[in-house]
Amino acid sequence: MARRFSLREFQQNIIDRIQQKEIAGDRISTLGIQVGPDYWVVEMQDINEVLAVPSVTPIPLTQPWHYGVANVRGNLYSISDLAAFMGRGETLNAGQSRVLLVSQKFACNVGLLVTRVLGLRDTRSWQYENKEGEARYQDEQGQVWRKLDVAQLLQQPDFLQIGI
């Protein structure tokens, strides 16, 4: 039988691990995610929260990549399927799918549906390359990771125009 634990214990464990890294001077500030078949990193400061996929209400006459609207603790969030927006296929609402709530510093209630969250990633030792204005990394195993620029995503007219 699988061991059961509370959300509070889980969150405290994560906080303790982050604090241990900060004390050691090794602050990891990127989160690894999978969007369709691709691997990405996103700055933790650009993300407010990572959620299991909440109950989402579809909105008629919107782009196919617009997943719908969700109520998260009394606030409405527009949820977009990031893989579908990027033309990388539709994200199935499976057990590993998650929604990244965009940081409040961007002043918009947006959630990004991703295939799965892969955990904290330390990109400092990875090979960096800027290819056609896009940051890319290659880890020690040769896996290529693209960097998600949330600010740039939120400024794209195609992303902002969800109506058809």
Q: What's the 3-state SS for 27-91?
A: CCCEEEEEECCEEEEEEHHHEEEEEECCCEECCCCECCCEEEEEEECCEEEEEEEHHHHCCCCCC
What percentage of the chain carries pLDDT values higher than 90?
75
pLDDT band at 132 (very low <50, low <70, confident <90, very high): confident
- 121 burial (CB, 10 Å; 0-12 / 13-18 / 19+) is buried
Separation between Cα atoms, residue 125 and residue 142, nearest integer Å:
12
pLDDT at 14: 73
Q: Each residue of 70-104: pLDDT tens digit? A: 999 999 999 999 999 999 999 987 789 999 999 99
Kindly tell me if the per-residue pLDDT of 150 is higher than 80.
yes
Dihedral angle sign, alpha carbons of residues 150, 155, 157, 162: positive
Which tokens sit at 24? 């050691």
Average pLDDT, the chain: 89
29-160: CATH topology is OB fold (Dihydrolipoamide Acetyltransferase, E2P) (2.40.50)
Kindly tell me if the per-residue pLDDT of 50 is higher than 60.
yes
What residue has token string 């977009």? 80
Q: In the chain, where are the structural domains located? A: 29-160
Backbone angles phi, psi at 151, to 5 degrees: -60, -45
Dihedral angle sign, alpha carbons of residues 148, 154, 155, 156: positive
For the residues 54-59, what does the mean pLDDT come to? 95
For the residues 13-40, what does the mean pLDDT come to? 77
For the residues 96-115, what does the mean pLDDT come to? 96
Kindly tell me if the per-residue pLDDT of 8 is higher than 60.
yes
What percentage of the chain carries pLDDT values higher than 70?
87
pLDDT band at 1 (very low <50, low <70, confident <90, very high): very low
pTM: 0.82
Map residue 98 onto helix, strand or coil: strand
